[in-house]
Each structure stands twice: as C-alpha cells, then as structure tokens.
Amino acid sequence: MAFVYSDLTQKIIGAAMKVHRYLGNGFQEVIYQRCLDIEFRAIGFNYEREKKQNIFYESVCVGTRRVDFLVEDKVLIELKAVIKVENVHLAQAINYLEAFDLDVGLLLNFGAPSLEYRRLHNKKRETGI
C-alpha cells in the first residue's frame, strides 16, 4: 500500500538528511529550520515557514499554534533538536496535524546522531471525527 504524498515526504526527508549530514547534531532547532528553508527553496517547494493556525474552543479563539513548515499545502513538518524524541513531542506534532486538518505530517529530529523521522497520519480525518 502506498502512502499518501509519499513522493513529497521522501523529498522532504532527503532534504532533512542532507542538512543533518552537513551539520550533524548539536545545534538549536532554528538553525536546522533555516537550513531546511534553504533546501526547500533549492528544490522549488511551495511552502510556508512558521505557519500560524488559530485554535478554537467552542467557537472561541483561545490562542494560536505555529508549525515549523507547511509544504505544498499538504504536509506539515514539525522539527525537533533533542537527544530523544519523547511522547510529548509526538503528541504535539499530532495535535498540529489535527489543528491544521491535514492528512500527513513529519516529525523530524535533528538532535540524535542520525536524523530521526516519523511519518504521522491524522486519524480524525481517516475516521471522519
């Protein structure tokens, strides 16, 4: 079974691997974000960095969230630069995916010796919740 947007996510992961190979681990998240910005421009992606989304509770806006990247209006990307991805990081990325009402996201961690990535799916869209 093919993944939704697998070609796009593979290109994104490839760009992230290139950045990680060049820099290694140990930098702040914003450094990796800036490097991915350069890579995405070179690839020719249509993307937004620090994409803002309002969060509502019972039709009242209670705040905003910002996702690191939204690529081609299809794939949400959340970056981390931590030694180990914890459940809280995964939950945050899934919450962003649901808030943006998208099917697919990637959680990319640059803090480990090798790039770590997780492909995320919005289960609410799959079940119609």
Give the mean pLDDT of 98-107: 92
**Class of domain 6-127 (CATH, top level):** alpha beta
Of all residues in the chain, the percent with pLDDT exceeding 90 is 81
pLDDT of the residue at 123: 83
Mean pLDDT over the full length of the chain: 92
What would the 3-class secondary structure string for the chain be?
A: CCCCCHHHHHHHHHHHHHHHHHHCCCCCHHHHHHHHHHHHHHHCCCEEEEEEEEEEECCEEEEEEEEEEEECCCEEEEEECCCCCCHHHHHHHHHHHHHCCCCEEEEEECCCCCCEEEEEECHHHHHCC
- Return the sign of the alpha-carbon dihedral for residues 52, 96, 33, 47: negative
Q: Residue 127: is its pLDDT beyond 80?
A: no
Note the pLDDT tens digit of each residue in 112-126.
Answer: 999 999 999 988 766
Domain ranges for the chain: 6-127
Note the pLDDT tens digit of each residue in 11-32.
Answer: 999 999 999 999 999 999 999 9
Q: Residue 38: is its pLDDT beyond 60?
A: yes
